[in-house]
Amino acid sequence: MPDSTHNLYTEYVTLMQKAADISNAAAVLEWDQETYMPAKGAEHRARQLATLAAQAHDILTSARLETILKELSHRKDLSNTEHANVRLSLHDFEKNKKLPSSFVESLSKQSSECFNAWIEARHKKDYSIFAPSLAKMIALKQEQARLYGYIDHPYDALLDDYEPGATVAMLEPVFAMIREQLPPVLAKIKAAKQVSNDCFHKDFPKQQQWDFSENVLRKMGYDFEAGRQDYAEHPFTTSFSSKDVRITTRVDEHNYASLLWSTIHEGGHALYEQGLPFEQYGLPLGAAASLGIHESQSRLWENCVGRGIASWQYFYPLLQSYFPEQLANVTVDTFFKAMNRVEPSLIRTEADEVTYHFHVMIRYEIEKGLLENKIDAKDLPQVWNSMYEKYLGITPPDDVKGILQDVHWSHGSFGYFPTYSLGSFYAAQFFAQAHKEITDLDLKFARGEFEPLLLWLRDKIHQYGRRYTSEELCEKVTGEQLNTAYFMTYINDKYAAVYS
């Protein structure tokens, strides 16, 4: 007698959640690796992570799961939610099955080794320490693209891990827009009188910075009973479930912008994770739509809200109470202009909203070149520096401020960087729609009322998990697919106010 649909779906959920348990146990170890793990734990940590990755992969590519998914996909008595989970899981299964367990284990082990080499290279300011490990990682990613299969470009196969459906053909017009429309904006800004950001470069004690950042997170709606903030070399957000979402940040006591924007950015990511349906734990509808949508949430909070004058009409008096001497003679208008200063810089995570996308484009072009074997890993510092000179007119003084600044390649995250620009463009479009649907949104921000925006995001985006692709979700929320004109309007309006 065939299994009932209910029993099959229950078994499917059990298998998926078991794999999620293993993956999230590995995620705890990865979080520990980047925050508190002692240096001598690195070698065995790589082995532990590789073992767990292989175990989760075995479940997600098991013959039993395949049988269940194929059978459920033909059943007519599933709910819409159940059908969506099965459809997406079957897609994931067919993709995961293309990667042998031995390959997944090798990739996980190389990721840990590569990360530790990256840390050592940063400490010694010497890319050559990282280069051999990175070359091995690139070879593995090329193999992964081959195993997945692709039609036009190996990069397409890897992009799909982060932005389902994205291709080089789709991205080229987006980056063409960056090359064509942002330089004229930058030229206008350069022709105007530069605003000062001296107010950010004073002595800001670490503890006061930390305390204020947690105050901001609480006002944004971040639930500290379902998360925490810690320090890390490279700020990141990790989620073990919607009830345990952790963020990290970094502190520079002589540059207040470093912690402030990292915290708000990661807080935006965390709010998305905390808003995903808890009852869908381990299932596709309990996961984010894509990294582009994920980035839209962090960019919306960091830039549209966090760098907006309305929010600081509320936050600035509070900030002055934390730093009365440093900000005694600084007006909120001066502070607002300082936080939005545009100037070509070396560090992507600290870049302004205009030049940021040149940073992303450089990484996108390099990743394509590496996968095509048009760029060799050993030559990356020279390639990187020449592209920074070409697009931003600046050259890194050392590897830490150049090729070693991002953690992504050490984790094998090739195809991730384009989602940062896509996220900014989605954020501008979503924010414009929120203004249409929430009455007096700026006035609410000025009063410290951020919950209406969070509830709007929960309703329009967070609750759906992976039910829709990025383009489908964008159209559902705004009535149209991604339209970069919203970003250009947002940029022009903001910087007309900043630079008069």
**For residue range 197-213, what is the model confidence (pLDDT) as tens digits?**
999 999 999 999 999 99
Do 368 and 452 lie in one domain? The reply is: yes
Do 10 and 108 lie in one domain? The reply is: yes
Do 277 and 335 lie in one domain? The reply is: yes
Residue (of 453, 351, 366) closest to 408 by Cα position: 366
Does any domain span residue 161?
no
Do 204 and 56 lie in one domain? The reply is: no
Do 173 and 263 lie in one domain? The reply is: yes
Beta-ladder partners of 231: 249
**Mean pLDDT of the residues in the chain:** 95
Does any domain span residue 133?
no
Between helices 206-220 and 309-322, what is the axis angle to 10°?
140
- For the chain, what's the residue count? 500
Residue 267: both structure tokens together: 């807080």
Does any domain span residue 153?
no
Say how many domains are in the chain: 2
**Cβ neighbours for 327, distance < 8 A, ≥ 6 positions apart:** 199, 319, 320, 335
Does any domain span residue 135?
no
Token pair 């609480």 is at which residue? 218
State the pTM of this model: 0.90
Do 209 and 109 lie in one domain? The reply is: no
**For residue range 143-168, what is the model confidence (pLDDT) as tens digits?**
999 999 999 999 999 999 999 989 99
237-241 vs 227-231, strand pairing mode: unpaired
Does any domain span residue 295?
yes
Residue (of 349, 27, 299, 291) closest to 159 by Cα position: 291
Do 85 and 186 lie in one domain? The reply is: no
Does any domain span residue 147?
no
Does any domain span residue 390?
yes
Please identify, among 125, 157, 188, the residue that sits at the C-terminal boundary of a domain: 125
Integer Cα distance of 251 and 247 in angstroms: 14
Please identify, among 67, 98, 125, the residue that sits at the C-terminal boundary of a domain: 125
Q: What is the CATH number of the domain that holds 245?
A: 1.10.1370.30
State the Cα angle at 129 between 381 and 158, rounded to 5°: 65
Residue (of 179, 133, 163) closest to 404 by Cα position: 133
Name the strand (E) or helix (H) holding 248: strand 244-249
Structural domain of residue 103, as residue ranges? 5-125
Does any domain span residue 450?
yes
What is the set of active-site residues?
A: 266
Do 111 and 253 lie in one domain? The reply is: no
H helices of 372-484, in order, are 380-392, 418-437, 441-446, 451-460, 470-478
Tens digits of pLDDT across the chain (500 residues): 467 899 999 999 999 999 999 999 999 999 999 899 998 998 899 889 989 998 999 999 999 999 999 999 999 999 999 999 999 999 999 998 899 989 988 998 999 899 999 999 999 999 999 999 999 999 999 999 999 999 999 999 999 999 998 999 989 999 999 999 999 999 999 999 999 999 999 999 999 999 999 999 999 999 999 999 999 877 899 999 999 999 999 999 999 998 999 999 999 999 999 999 999 999 999 999 999 999 999 999 999 999 999 999 999 999 999 999 999 999 999 999 999 999 999 999 888 999 999 999 999 999 999 999 999 999 999 999 999 999 999 999 999 999 999 999 999 999 999 999 999 999 999 999 999 999 999 999 999 999 999 999 999 999 999 999 999 999 999 999 999 999 999 999 999 999 98
